[in-house]
Chains A and B, each alone.
Chain A
């Protein structure tokens, strides 16, 4: 674990459509998706994931209006934005879901290891 912390950028999860990495130097997450790269603080990343998960896919499918063909998402504290089609939303959900699982698994592993790492 100690050696791993010296590596500044660690890949958390990757799909063929993008990746989520963690920067151990700045304590942030980096999302690469659809040609856009964004950096998030931990709390903002969780918030962004929640926003993506709450997108109304059924509404997008059922609506005949062209307005609902795409969804625009602004990551917090960023001038960039994601313009997502229905397929993009599904792909982004898959990516963020996988990243969230890996991050929680990492937390669980740390929870198990912590008593041994810092025992006197």
Chain B
């Protein structure tokens, strides 16, 4: 009997499901970053608003990369339903605490995909996911460094104004701490 399942796609059902979940997570991240950008804009943190808008676009780019990969391999990429986006945040610092939590969640999901790829011997997807895992080193590093600005500079006086100005400048060098 012909193997129609394999003719359709080289992705296993489990991996396709996990990748579609990841699409949803990336779309959710993109929407949350946009809501954060709006909050920062409303509260006069212009630099942070710009930074968060860029982050939102980046997350959408990640989503599309996975979306295209699934379709390229003959799978069924699902346009995600994104709901329950928080529109209000407890504070300026709270925004970036949530951003770090979101990045940690993304990393843990990507690790789960990599783990499943190894288990199912799907080395193509394993190779594909490496780019995202590497990207997460940068994402988490930047999110942590931004959060540390709140302690290093301090929020008193013109502190928040200074922090806002510094946020878009935080970047990741190949070795941590490099300027």
Binding site for B on A (CB under 8 A): 1, 4-5, 10, 12, 22, 24, 27-29, 41-43, 46-47, 103-104, 106-107, 110-111
- Nearest-neighbour CB distance to chain B for A63, whole angstroms, equals 25
Q: How far does the alpha carbon of A27 sit from the alpha carbon of B7 in the complex, in Å?
A: 9
Q: How far does the alpha carbon of A103 sit from the alpha carbon of B4 in the complex, in Å?
A: 8
- Nearest-neighbour CB distance to chain A for B12, whole angstroms, equals 9
Number of A-B contacts (CB under 8 A): 41
| Residue ID in chain A nearest B76 by CB atoms | A43
Inter-chain contacts of B8 with A (CB < 8 A): 41-43, 46
Given A27-B7, A42-B8, A110-B6, the answer on whether A10 and B1 have CB atoms closer than 8 Å is yes
Q: How far does the alpha carbon of A34 sit from the alpha carbon of B9 in the complex, in Å?
A: 30
> By the criterion CB–CB under 8 Å, are A106 and B7 in contact?
no
> B3 within 8 Å of A by Cβ?
yes
> By the criterion CB–CB under 8 Å, are A110 and B4 in contact?
no
Q: Can you list 22 contacts pairing A with B, beta carbon distance less than 8 Å?
A: A4-B1, A5-B1, A12-B1, A22-B1, A22-B2, A24-B1, A27-B2, A27-B4, A28-B4, A41-B8, A42-B4, A42-B7, A43-B8, A43-B74, A46-B5, A103-B5, A104-B5, A106-B1, A106-B3, A106-B5, A107-B3, A110-B3
Excluding A24-B2, A42-B7, A43-B8, 19 further A-B contacts by CB distance (< 8 Å) are A10-B1, A22-B1, A24-B1, A27-B2, A27-B4, A28-B4, A42-B4, A42-B8, A43-B9, A43-B74, A43-B76, A46-B8, A47-B76, A103-B5, A106-B1, A106-B5, A107-B3, A107-B6, A110-B6
Binding site for A on B (CB under 8 A): 1-9, 13, 74, 76
Inter-chain contacts of A5 with B (CB < 8 A): 1-2
| Residue ID in chain A nearest B17 by CB atoms | A50
Inter-chain contacts of A104 with B (CB < 8 A): 5
> By the criterion CB–CB under 8 Å, are A107 and B5 in contact?
yes
Inter-chain contacts of B3 with A (CB < 8 A): 106-107, 110
Inter-chain contacts of B7 with A (CB < 8 A): 27, 42
Inter-chain contacts of A29 with B (CB < 8 A): 4
